[in-house]
Structure 1
Amino acid sequence: MSSSFRAPLVRPSNGIDFVALSKFVWRQKKLLLLVTLGCGLIAACYAFLVTPTYKVSAALRPAAINDLDALNRSEVYQLPPVDALLKVGAALESYDTRLAFFRANQKLFEPFVRPGQTLEQSFEAFNRDSIHLILPDTDKKDSLSAYVKLEMTYPKGIDGVAILNGFVDYAVRVERKQISADLDVIVKNRINELKGRFDSARSNYEVEKEAKIASLRENDALKRAQLQDELRALRSQLKALRNDRIAQLNEAIGIAKSLGIQKPTTPSSLGESRNAGANSVMRTEVNNQQVPLFFMGVEALNAELVALKQRKSDDFTDPRVAQIAKELQLLASNREVEVLNARENEDIFLAGVQPLRAEMARLSSLNIDMAGLKLVTVDQQALEPLVAASPNRLLVVLLGLLGGAVLALCIALLRSAIVASRDIIKERSPGSQVSRLNARGHIGELPDQQHSIQPIQK
């Protein structure tokens, strides 16, 4: 008897049997439940055991115009509200300001200090991770106004509200002190500038005063020299005139002696004396010529000559000499120079310094209450948070359950794939098919396979 046997054909499936897969996964529902609950329990332990982290924030807005009116009306330091907000924001962001506040309040920051780290290293971690400054987006046109927001995240056990509010107050005080120092410096510089201009005006006045005194004295000296020259020339002239008069008198005396004129006479009288025999006649003489000097007679001429020779000074003969003496006496002392030298408070005579004096007085009496200067408006103070910012326990537990469910499903699918691969390998093995036929005693259908039986021919 002869026989023939055809091995079963194995054809791989072209798709996934989702029904069979679902049944396989459902048979592992206990594994799914255990893995999901385990992951949820792990997430719950994390959510309730990890240290909660809280977040607080404070918002600042520009101060009102009247809060800065006293400073701006001083005309020394101009500070619009927006600029004041930016200054405070710069102080809040300043590394030095934060470090100074950290050093000044070490008790508040004790939980941030780590063993083996310096104070600056601990502050660096706090400054990098815990506190952040938020500024408005200038590109957005719908922003109602400028603001500065400061946020801080901190773990449980730290007084974050006190730290944030204290830091805001500290930054405002620091900036207020800085503005006060700047104002003092500006006022002092302005006063020094005004004093310099005032001193310059005083120096100019003193120079002008000395120049005026020198000019007055120079004019007096020049006039005095001119008068003295005039006086000497006038006296020389008077002496020459006296000598000329003496010469004229001597000449006239000689003529009078030759004519026998002893007494003063006139030409008509002289003619009548020589014609004594004639009848007495009264004549009227009109003569516009000067009568010669010798008609004065010898006696009169000698008397004048003796007087002229005995004269010691001719000053009285010309009134100009007395006038010159008067002017020289007036020039002996210049009253204007004496008045200029006698001035005690010369500042009142300075020209053009009244505005400087008024400005100096205003700046010296400038009194701005810097302690009450309100630079910004605290729109929102840091308040004690009601719930922790992280972790969100409910969300963590839900995510843990969801992750556990996904992990359990992946495990189930992986087991299904492993089992299916193992079955396929066994079914494709020829020895496995023969042993399976022998065990059954007849040829039957194999799962998921097609087969054919041919009759045995003898």
Structure 2
Amino acid sequence: MSSSLRVSPFSHAEEIDFIQLVKITLQRKKLVAAITVSAGLIAVACAFLITPTYEVSSVLRPAAINELDALNRSEVYKLPPGEALTKVGASLESYETRLGFFRANPGFFKEFEAPGRTLEQSFEEFNRNSISLILPDPRKADSLSAYIKLEMTYPKGVDGVSILNGLVNYAIDTEREQIASDMRVIIKNRLTEIAGKLDAARANYEVDKEAKIASLSELDNLRRAQLQDERKALRAQLKTLRTDRVAQLDEAIGIAKSLGIRKPSTPSLLGDSERSPSNSVMRTEINNQQIPLYFMGVEALEAERNALMKRKSDDFTEGRIAQIAKELQLLEANREIEVLKSREKEDLFLAGVQPLRAEEARLRNLSIDMAGVKLVTIDRPAQEPLTPFKPKRLLVVVIGIILGFIVGCALAFIWAFIRNRQSFYRTLPISSSGAGATSLDGEPPRIS
């Protein structure tokens, strides 16, 4: 009866413990040391051959209030320190600002350029991998004040300090120019608005002046017409009175002729003359009744009638006509209208424009030295780093040595395992059938 049995190479081997591992390592210490030293040398070579990468940073904080006082007191542009810091931070993060600095300083970025890539592609790699903007965490209460931190990593051979400081200054200058441009636009718009209001005031003044001139001319024309009508009525009245007077005189002359009164007389004198022809008596007559006109006598009445008949104008008999002539003469020229028309600097007479003129003069004379306006405080400019950011050479060498030691130990264990397996197969008995040669593939022979 025959039977077959598979025997594991370690079926009779002792159990491997930590002490055995140490023994194996000590037995192959030259191998382990050689691999460890080789790995360490490779790590040292990598640590010193890999291009070092450096890191620099710059911290910006809000400017003092007095730095922005001139800008805020202009009443044109309000910019608190916190808002100024935000504007500069937005400019630093702006793709356009970074690209503008990249284009303005091509000498700084030669290391980032590569054949076959455009300027924008080279900048895109730099912008994506080399520079970052860090803001304070609003959830943390330990931050004493707002700040903006700009970090940049760069390989050896690149002037990262100049690039970062230059970018910060470029962003600040860009934002300062933008503020100056905004101020110019605001001032221009306000001056345009003031000019429009002044033009409206001039138009209103012209309308008011023309209306006043028209009103004065109308009043003069009305007054002139009234005076002329009054003078015409007075002359007609005087003419009628003269005609009536002539008729009265004609009637009185007729009566006087019939009574034979040639000279002026009185009723009593007329009665006495019929009784006594003496002319040596002087009489004084007191009478409260009006003596009839014919007692003036024919001679006096005819003289008055002839004078009235020869009269060509009755104006001198009425003082109101002379007064009317005087008023008409004054109405020939309205001095107020002449003064209104002869004004040269009419802007001086515009109403309610004094504040506008004062604001216009202030805006035109407003001068702010934007170069002296400090938008932010550079709390920490970029400084030349003392050590590279990566690689950490000591750490790389230590890791290389550790990995070399681990690999050396692993090879020593594998070598020991293979030797033990070969020794095991050599000690196995050979079968009587002569077919008990141990195969190299690890399959043990069959035992009958």
> If the TM-score is normalised by the length of the shorter chain, which range does it land in?
0.7 to 0.9
1:25–1:412 CA contact under 8 A, matched in 2: no
Match of 2:24? Answer: 27
Task: Tell me which amino acid in the other structure corresponds to 1:152.
Answer: M
1:129 maps to a residue whose letter is: N
Q: Tell me the distance in 2 between the aligned counterparts of 1:420 and 1:321.
A: 159
**RMSD between aligned alpha carbons?**
3.4
Is the CA contact 1:54–1:153 (under 8 Å) kept in the aligned structure 2?
Answer: yes
Aligned to 2:105: 105
Query: Which amino acid is the alignment partner of residue 130 of structure 2?
Result: S
Residues 130 and 153 of structure 1 are in contact (CA less than 8 Å); yes or no, is this contact kept in structure 2? Answer: yes
Distance 1:41 1:97 in 2: 45
Task: Give the Å deviation of 1:105.
Answer: 1.0
Residue 326 of structure 1 aligns with an amino acid whose one-letter code is K
- Of all paired residues, the percent bearing the same amino acid is 61
Letter in 2 for 1:178: Q
Equivalence for 2:218: 218
Cα contact 1:235–1:314 (8 A) shared by 2: yes
- Match in the other structure for 1:66: 66
Asked if 1 retains the 8 angstrom alpha-carbon contact of 2:24 and 2:412, the reply is: no
Please tell me whether the aligned partners of residues 25 and 409 of structure 2 are also in contact (alpha carbons under 8 angstroms): no
Change beyond 3 A, Cα 1:148–1:336: same
2:17 is paired with a residue of what secondary structure? helix
Decide whether aligned partners of structure 1 residues 53 and 262 sit closer, same or farther in structure 2, where only a CA change above 3 A counts: same
Alpha-carbon separation, structure 2, partners of 1:125 and 1:316: 112
TM-score, with length taken from structure 1: 0.83
1:242 deviation in Å?
0.9
Contact 2:24/2:413 (<8 A) preserved: no
Structure-1 residue corresponding to 2:91: 91
Residue aligning to 1:297: 297
Give me the TM-score of the superposition, normalised by structure 2: 0.85
Aligned residues: 425
1:312-327 equivalences under 5 Å are: 312-327=312-327
Aligned residues of 1:261 and 1:297 also touching (Cα < 8 A)? yes
Residue 82 of structure 1 corresponds to which residue in structure 2? 82
Alignment of 1:348-363 (within 5 A): 348-363=348-363
Deviations 1:17-73, CA, capped at 9 Å, x for gaps: 976364146314435545444443333322121110000111111112222111111
User: Aligned equivalents of 1:357 and 1:140: distance in 2?
Assistant: 52
Cα distance, 1:420–1:216 mapped onto 2, change above 3 Å: farther
Amino acid at match of 1:366: L
SS of match in other structure, 1:220: helix
Relative to 1, partners in 2 of residues 1:256 and 1:18: Cα closer, same or farther, differing over 3 Å? farther
**Structure 1 residue aligned with 2:375:** 375
Preserved contact between residue 25 and residue 413 of structure 2 (Cα < 8 Å): no
Instruction: State the one-letter code of the partner of 1:72.
Output: N
Look up the SS of the partner of 2:297 in the other structure. helix
5+ residue gaps, structure 1, are 427-431, 437-458
Q: Partners in 2 of 1:307 and 1:321 — Cα distance?
A: 21
CA distance in structure 2 between the partners assigned to 1:421 and 1:227 by the alignment: 151
Name stretches of at least 5 consecutive residues in structure 2 with no aligned partner. 433-448
Question: Which piece of structure 1 moves more, 32-41 or 46-55?
Answer: 32-41
What displacement does 1:405 show?
4.2
Give the AA of the match of 1:26.
K
1:309 Cα deviation (Å)?
0.7
Distance 1:362 1:232 in 2: 63
Residue 337 of structure 1 and its aligned partner are, at CA, apart by 1.4
Question: What pairs up with 1:13-412 in 2 under 5 angstroms?
Answer: 20=17, 22-24=19-21, 26-29=23-26, 30=28, 32-276=32-276, 285-287=286-288, 289-407=289-407
Contact 1:132–1:151 (CA<8 Å) still a contact in 2? yes
Describe the superposition over 1:336-362 as per-residue Cα deviations: whole angstroms up to 9, x where unpaired. Answer: 111222222222222222222222222
Which amino acid counterpart does residue 42 of structure 1 have in structure 2?
Answer: I
